[in-house]
Every structure is written in C-alpha cells, then in structure tokens.
C-alpha cells in the first residue's frame, strides 16, 4: 500500500473501533437507467452505509443518472472502459480497489442491478443480518429467481405486488450465491475467480452453496430474470455491467 493509503486504513481502523463497522454495497452497471432509483433507494432503506457503483459506457442515461445521484451524495460513482480481453466486472473491481479500496472491519456485498437483498432477520436491515450471523464473517446468500409475472411492460417497480411469482425454493438456479463478507485477513476482498464472492471461507446461517437456501436462512437475494426487465420503453443491453 502507498503511505497515503496506509494512513487512511489506520484512520479507518480507529474509526471502526469507536463507531462500529460500515456496510458497503458495490455494483458494476451498464444500461440500467430505468432501474437505478429503486435499487439505490431500497438498499439505502435497509441500512447500507455506502453504495459504490462502477459504470461502463452506456447509451440509456445510466451515467447521467449516476452522476446526479453522486452529486446528491446517494452513491459514489466510478467509471471505467474495460480494455479488450478484460471483463466489465474485473475492470470494475480494479477501479474499486484503485479509487475506494477495502477497509478492515467493514462489510462488503456485490449485487447487480436486478438483485435486491431480502433480509429475513429482525426488522429486515443489513445490520440485523450481521447481528444474526454471530461471529461469522462471511455469508453466502442464495438467489430467488423472479420472472415477468405476466407483464407485457415493466410496471415501474420491482419491490411491489406487481411481482409476486417466483421460482420454487428448490429450483436449480437458486443455488447461485452472492457473498456478504467482513474485510480482514481471512476475506481481504472480492475474488478474481468467481468475482462476486470473497476468495475463501465458510458459509454462515444466511445460506449454503449448492443446496439452495439454508433452513436457518437469514437472508436471500431476489433476482429478476432478463425477460422481467426487457419490456421497458427504451432500447438497451442490460446485464453487461
């Protein structure tokens, strides 16, 4: 680490000891403008302290919306243009690590624009989930796949009665996971292989890989299939953030 970064880490470690750890939500996005406001507002409402979004070139207003949200203090907006041969996700992590970095003691989660963290513990906040995890420092959070619910056009919101139908709990695709982890020696950051996860570790009560949701489930990730997002009155190529 550079001397400046060393000092920032030391200052943050002292802050965590006094104020407690922060929760950071990260995402990489491209052409997600119609869905941004709800996604940001929802995850602010369930308690994330900081939302960092890295965008790459879009043609639907995504960058402009993110710039406005950044000016309002709702998100931190990073931009990148992935070089040939590098995935957008890997480029986003490189930018995150260069501009933001990991802070020991803080909690990190990567969600895409079609994923919403649904906390079943306590009052439904991310802090309630962390409290329910006890001394675990990593949670593997299973998906729950939602579809279009019969809509020919996007109704305007995902978190509403307009989307009440989802895949059965045992559906194979629900075995996919995203990882909430506390930064430290065991989990230093996002993995380079399976980039949405931390590099190593064991599942917490939130979920267990390869077996669907845990019966002790503290949280799940609600994910909308592409056809649920496609009927929007604009042309875009989602899902390549």
Instruction: List the chain domain ranges.
Output: 3-15+22-229
- CA distances (Å), origin 14, targets 21, 106, 123, 181, 201: 10, 12, 29, 20, 26
The predicted pLDDT at position 173 comes to 73
Evaluate whether the domain defined by 3-15+22-229 bears CATH number 3.90.550: yes
The predicted pLDDT at position 199 comes to 55
Beta carbons of 42 and 102 less than 8 angstroms apart: no
Output the six-digit token pair for 203.
Answer: 């599942």
Segments in the chain below pLDDT 70: 1-19, 151-152, 155-156, 193-241
Distance CA(123)–CA(46), nearest Å, equals 9
Output the six-digit token pair for 64.
Answer: 């402009």
Question: Degrees (nearest 5) of the Cα angle 159, 92, 37?
Answer: 25
Residue 107, classed as helix, strand or coil, is strand
Enter the DSSP assignment of 166: B
Taken in order 56, 159, 126, 211, is the CA torsion positive or negative? negative
The predicted pLDDT at position 91 comes to 93
Name the H helices within 174-238: 226-229
Residue 217, classed as helix, strand or coil, is coil
Would you say how long the chain is, in residues? Answer: 241
Output the six-digit token pair for 4.
Answer: 């400046």
H/E element, 178: strand 177-182
Output the six-digit token pair for 79.
Answer: 């931009």
The predicted pLDDT at position 104 comes to 95
Distance CA(220)–CA(158), nearest Å, equals 15
The predicted pLDDT at position 169 comes to 76
- Helix pair angle (36-45, 62-71), 10° resolution: 40
């Amino acid at each position: 680490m550079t001397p400046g970064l060393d000092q920032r880490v030391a200052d943050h470690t002292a802050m965590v000891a006094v104020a407690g750890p922060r929760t950071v939500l990260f995402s990489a996005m491209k052409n997600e403008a119609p869905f941004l406001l709800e996604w940001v507002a929802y995850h602010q409402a369930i308690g994330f302290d900081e939302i960092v979004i890295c965008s790459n070139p879009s043609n639907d207003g995504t960058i402009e919306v993110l710039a406005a949200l950044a000016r309002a203090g709702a998100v931190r907006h990073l931009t990148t243009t992935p070089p040939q041969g590098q995935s957008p996700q890997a480029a986003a992590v490189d930018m995150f690590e260069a501009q933001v970095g990991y802070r020991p003691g803080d909690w990190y989660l990567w969600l895409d624009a079609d994923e919403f963290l649904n906390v079943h513990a306590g009052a439904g906040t991310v802090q309630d989930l962390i409290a329910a995890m006890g001394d675990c420092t990593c949670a593997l959070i299973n998906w729950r796949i939602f579809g279009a619910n019969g809509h020919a056009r996007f109704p305007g919101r995902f978190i509403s009665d307009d989307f009440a139908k989802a895949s059965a709990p045992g559906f194979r695709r629900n075995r996919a996971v995203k990882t909430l982890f506390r930064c430290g020696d065991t989990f230093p950051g996002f993995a380079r292989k399976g980039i949405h996860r931390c590099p190593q570790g064991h599942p917490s009560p939130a979920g267990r890989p390869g077996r669907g949701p845990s019966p002790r489930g503290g949280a799940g990730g609600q994910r909308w299939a592409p056809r649920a997002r496609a009927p929007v009155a604009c042309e875009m190529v989602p899902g390549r953030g």
